Amino acid sequence: MPMLPTERSIRTTPEGLLWEPGERWVRGVKGEVTVVDSRHPVLVWEPGLPVPQYAFPREEVRTDLLRPAKDPPTGTHTGARVFYDLEADGEVVENAAWVFPAEDLAGHIAFAWFLRWDSGLDHWYEEDEEIFVHPRDPHKRVDALPSSRHVRVEIDGTLVADTHRPVLLFETSLPTRYYIPPEDVRRDLFVPTEHHTSCPYKGTADYWSWRGGAGVPPNLLWSYPDPLTAVAVIKGRLAFFNEAVDITVDGERAERPVTPFSASLGTRPRTR
- The answer to whether the predicted template modeling score (pTM) of the entire model surpasses 0.85 is no
Q: Using pLDDT thresholds of 50, 70 and 90, give the confidence band for residue 1.
A: very low
Domains, the chain, with CATH or none:
5-131 (2.170.150.40), 142-265 (2.170.150.40)
The per-residue pLDDT for range 35-90, each reduced to its tens digit, is 999 999 999 999 988 889 999 999 999 999 999 999 999 989 999 999 999 999 88
Question: What is the tens place of the pLDDT at every residue in 2-40?
Answer: 444 445 578 999 999 999 999 999 999 999 999 999 999
Max CA separation in the chain (angstroms): 64
Residue 176 CB coordination number (10 Å): 15
Task: Burial-class residue 219 by CB neighbours within 10 Å (0-12, 13-18, 19+).
Answer: buried
Torsion of CA 139, 144, 149, 152, to 10 degrees: 90
Question: If you average pLDDT over residues 172-183, what whole number do you get?
Answer: 96
